[in-house]
Chain A
């Protein structure tokens, strides 16, 4: 079985609104940039394409049928993964691992600015009998979880403000971080807890983004790229679909991460930086625990001591995370792959971390789901 590398990655957007392109051109521009990076012609060199689309987010029924043209995939195998894009990456990985393909392209995008009422789409993802009858903004599911978690750990809004500040300010050096800002802690403190106990500061906004990555077998990767980024391991897992049945659990993420650690003989000590879902501030902490980067007894102390900052010993979301870049719907996982790809190739400009040889990415599909994927990437150093 061949090793699998990422040899090209391109994006377009990462802006609140991309009215200058439709979803087609946005994807096309991201794809061109990815192909140019590894010098491939999609019409000749690519064996298969994976598109990660969710019809309700695209606003087109059977939207995967729309994915082929802009990727250069006509008359080629194209399949859709209707899930978080890191799970789409896993499908591409398997196509190469199985020996069926040598080069696979994975695409995901967000045209969130086209959604007039994104909260209704989230509500529509909730159980029609047991959850929807209460007619509340779906972010209140996060409110319930946040209050429960904060009480259990003794974490205050001031603690959450440290995450907001860290991520939004990390993003100041990231050209994709449209929501980065110097954070005034007093303003955060005074902000209305509209999603009690969370304020708008605690919740990442949406962004428009298009991301395309090119995967290759070892043989092809070494031919086409002088800086391949290797997929060392990945796994994904889902818990019960019903929020009231599973309660406030991230067991599925813990299990996915443990699989990756076991299969790669890695543990958090060997990871130089983490790119993880932070669409709600408190969620960054829950995910850190699930990845065993900290634990329930040390999390508060580790946070207050700044251990998750760029100067810390367990760097989390140096890119700024979703709090700084915005959430690109299901393209989030692939967006983090892009950030890691730059760091691992020493191409992250002012954002570049000193020792960036291995990254762990953890993605979540957002409320009301419990679907997670984890991926370990390395530059082979």
Chain B
């Protein structure tokens, strides 16, 4: 504005939006519990259109119908893409960079984002499988999977 000769003041502010407890949803809960209790990744199965899909939710993105069943899937995944992550979500440099990957599973729509481990040079198309935490350490979270490693 014309009557300004110097920069305006800035007034500090925060959004009090730091803490939430997100309900994961009924079928996603089963998905996370099967990781915790069985050490298995399962996919949602839509009775209506016959698709298996990940991530799990209680409705079908493709045909719009209710979904209430999980099915076992082949635990072998394929790396669709990867990147070496050097910055965290604050943009700060990570002490230990890691490989982020998008992993798909046979006959399953969608897939999962997760880490790759025990790998020097990842490649698109590489076959991988999940490495789980010790069962007593699992809490029912995708973090119960440590990473995916090459087969």
Write the residues of chain A forming the contact surface with B, with a CB cutoff of 8 angstroms: 19-22, 25, 29, 56, 59, 61, 114, 117, 119-120, 123-124, 127-140, 143-145, 147-148, 151, 194-197, 240, 242-248
Q: Given A20-B4, A120-B89, A130-B112, A245 and B124 touching (CB < 8 A)?
A: no
Contact call B81/A145, Cβ cutoff below 8 A: yes
Other A-B pairs beyond A131-B113, A148-B80, 14, CB < 8 Å: A19-B10, A22-B8, A29-B1, A130-B113, A132-B89, A134-B115, A137-B85, A143-B83, A144-B102, A147-B83, A148-B81, A196-B83, A244-B111, A245-B55
Contact call B83/A144, Cβ cutoff below 8 A: yes
CA distance A128 to B17 in the complex (A): 13
Contact call A20/B88, Cβ cutoff below 8 A: no
Contact call B80/A136, Cβ cutoff below 8 A: no
Among candidates B1, B83, B115, residue contacting A195 with C-beta atoms closer than 8 Å: B83
B132 contacts A by Cβ under 8 Å: no
Contact call A135/B124, Cβ cutoff below 8 A: no
Within the complex, what minimum Cβ distance (angstroms) separates A369 from chain B? 15
Q: Given A20-B8, A21-B1, A134 and B91 touching (CB < 8 A)?
A: no
Chain B interface, number of residues (Cβ within 8 angstroms): 44
B142 contacts A by Cβ under 8 Å: yes
Contact call B88/A136, Cβ cutoff below 8 A: yes
CA distance A61 to B142 in the complex (A): 31
0 or 1 for each of B52-74: is its CB under 8 Å from A? (1 = yes): 01110000010000000000000
Contact call A151/B124, Cβ cutoff below 8 A: yes
B114 contacts A by Cβ under 8 Å: yes
CA distance A139 to B61 in the complex (A): 25
Q: Which of B92-120 contact A (CB under 8 A)?
A: 100-102, 104, 109-115
Q: Find the B residue at minimum CB distance from A132.
A: B89
CA distance A196 to B81 in the complex (A): 11
Contact call B54/A197, Cβ cutoff below 8 A: no
Within the complex, what minimum Cβ distance (angstroms) separates B83 from chain A? 4
CA distance A61 to B16 in the complex (A): 10
Contact call A20/B82, Cβ cutoff below 8 A: no
Contact call B28/A244, Cβ cutoff below 8 A: no
Within the complex, what minimum Cβ distance (angstroms) separates A18 from chain B? 10
Q: Given A130-B55, A144-B102, A244-B112, A135 and B88 touching (CB < 8 A)?
A: yes
Chain B residue contacts of A117, Cβ below 8 A: 90-91
Q: List 29 A-B contacts (CB under 8 A).
A: A21-B1, A117-B90, A119-B90, A123-B89, A129-B22, A129-B28, A129-B142, A132-B89, A134-B100, A135-B88, A136-B85, A136-B88, A136-B89, A138-B89, A139-B87, A143-B100, A144-B81, A147-B83, A195-B83, A196-B86, A242-B55, A243-B102, A244-B102, A244-B110, A245-B53, A245-B61, A245-B109, A248-B80, A248-B81
Within the complex, what minimum Cβ distance (angstroms) separates B58 from chain A? 13
Chain B residue contacts of A21, Cβ below 8 A: 1, 8
Chain B residue contacts of A127, Cβ below 8 A: 55
Q: Which of B22-57 contact A (CB under 8 A)?
A: 22, 24, 28, 32, 53-55
Within the complex, what minimum Cβ distance (angstroms) separates A168 from chain B? 23
Contact call A133/B8, Cβ cutoff below 8 A: no
Chain B residue contacts of A29, Cβ below 8 A: 1
Within the complex, what minimum Cβ distance (angstroms) separates A120 from chain B? 6
B7 contacts A by Cβ under 8 Å: yes
CA distance A114 to B4 in the complex (A): 19
Chain A residue contacts of B7, Cβ below 8 A: 19-20
Contact call A119/B89, Cβ cutoff below 8 A: yes
Q: Given A120-B89, A144-B102, A133 and B143 touching (CB < 8 A)?
A: yes
Contact call B24/A140, Cβ cutoff below 8 A: no
Q: Given A129-B142, A246-B110, A140 and B22 touching (CB < 8 A)?
A: no
Chain B residue contacts of A194, Cβ below 8 A: 86-87
